[in-house]
């Protein structure tokens, strides 16, 4: 009997999966490993060479605070790195063909003066016109605020950016954890740097020169150098994303100037909630949306066949790329391995509040 094949094993994007599809990351993870090594290594040096001295000379609360910050930083980092950022399923062969029929009339090829229409659609969000762009890779019109990540080769809902430091895209489903990560990391860097400098200053009070104190605790010097050169970029990144959260924007939207009036004097952010507090609550405390891709679902016999039919039109087609199934849309009583076609994509995003 053949082994059941999970959908993550035939996922069309450039991602890596671990723990039978439970963990989803980008394919390039070298910088992520460097991030983990830098954080764990610096914190380990701090606990081994500084905490005992500071606990005896100042207060035993210092190791506790350092431990809490370290655990919070690592939890937020791993939650950001190991999760689905909000990948939008690619269109099935039938969905792609239906969209193509809507875009290109059947008599287009017979007309010598025919020009293909622009592959965009326009919707209105709170009175503001928003263009939905067609993705030639995923064969669908991307919903508002979504964009295609060229590194992971996926369309991501509320795409912010691809972050190599966390080894994943940052989107609708993991942005709040990314924000918690960079803010808590800023606190951890400031805390360790302050403790290291305090340690060295206290050593100089024992009738030692500052150079002698550095020689006595070289690990503290290493920690101080790492934190000093890291803290500026981390604080700047935390401040920038705090601005984005307070204005309910993404990095992608801010870089493009989507709501700054550069393209139109009447442009405004239709996703803003009216004030800073409401924007922060909406971004950081809003509902956690379920994943749209059923990574651990079983591949059925019909799926590879549908992918094979669409291979002629999609050069990068792979077996099992029929990914138009949503786990949350599984009807009651349906078999576990039955694939339910994705409902009209606009209806899905209307229900989720994107329109």
The catalytic residue among 135, 152, 163, 169 is 163
Cα(321)–Cα(109) distance, integer angstroms: 29
The DSSP element (H or E) to which 123 belongs, if any, is strand 120-125
**Most confident stretch, 55-59, 106-110, 205-209:** 55-59
193-211 pLDDT tens trace: 999 999 998 888 867 787 8
Cα(209)–Cα(134) distance, integer angstroms: 66
Residue, of 240 and 130, whose pLDDT is higher = 240
DSSP 8: G
pLDDT for the residue numbered 110: 56
CB 207 within 8 A of CB 240: no
- Asked whether the predicted pLDDT for residue 103 surpasses 80, the reply is no
Question: Can you say how many angstroms the Cα of residue 122 is from the centroid of all Cα atoms in its chain?
Answer: 26
Cα(137)–Cα(133) distance, integer angstroms: 12
Residue, of 266 and 159, whose pLDDT is higher = 159
274-299 pLDDT tens trace: 899 999 999 999 888 899 998 988 88
- Asked whether the predicted pLDDT for residue 95 surpasses 50, the reply is yes
Number of residues written out for the chain:
355
Active-site residue 163, yes or no?
yes
Question: Can you say how many angstroms the Cα of residue 159 is from the centroid of all Cα atoms in its chain?
Answer: 7
> What phi and psi values does residue 26 have, to the nearest 5 degrees?
-75, 160
């Amino acid at each position: 009997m053949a082994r059941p094949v999970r959908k993550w094993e035939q996922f069309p994007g450039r991602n890596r999966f671990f723990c039978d599809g439970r963990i989803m990351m980008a394919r390039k993870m070298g910088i992520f490993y460097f991030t983990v090594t830098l954080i764990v290594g610096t914190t380990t040096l701090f606990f081994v060479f500084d905490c005992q001295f500071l606990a005896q000379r100042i207060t035993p609360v210092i190791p506790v605070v350092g431990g809490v910050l370290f655990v919070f930083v690592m939890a937020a980092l791993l939650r950001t790195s190991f999760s689905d950022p909000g990948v939008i399923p690619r269109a099935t062969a039938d969905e792609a063909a239906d969209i193509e029929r809507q875009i290109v009339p059947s008599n287009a090829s017979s007309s010598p003066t025919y020009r293909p229409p622009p592959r965009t659609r326009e919707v209105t969000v709170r009175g503001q016109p928003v263009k939905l762009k067609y993705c030639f890779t995923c064969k669908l019109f991307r919903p508002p605020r979504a964009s295609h990540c060229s590194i992971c080769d996926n369309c991501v809902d509320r795409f912010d950016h691809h972050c190599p430091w966390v080894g994943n895209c940052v989107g609708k489903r993991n942005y709040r954890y990314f924000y918690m990560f960079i803010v808590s990391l800023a606190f951890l860097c400031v805390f360790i740097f302050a403790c290291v400098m305090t340690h060295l200053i206290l050593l100089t009070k024992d009738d030692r020169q500052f150079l002698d104190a550095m020689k006595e605790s070289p690990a503290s010097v290493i920690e101080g150098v790492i934190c000093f050169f890291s803290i500026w970029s981390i604080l700047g990144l935390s401040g920038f994303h705090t601005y984005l959260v307070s204005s309910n924007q993404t990095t992608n939207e801010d870089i493009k100037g989507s709501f700054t009036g550069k393209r139109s004097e009447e442009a405004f952010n239709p996703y803003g909630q009216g004030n800073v507090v409401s924007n922060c609550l909406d971004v950081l405390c809003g509902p956690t949306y379920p994943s749209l891709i059923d990574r651990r679902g079983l591949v059925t016999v019909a799926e590879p066949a549908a992918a094979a039919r669409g291979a002629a039109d999609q050069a990068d087609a792979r077996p099992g790329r029929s990914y138009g199934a949503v786990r949350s849309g599984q009807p009651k009583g349906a078999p576990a391995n039955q694939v339910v076609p994705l409902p009209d994509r606009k209806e899905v995003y209307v229900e989720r509040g994107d329109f």
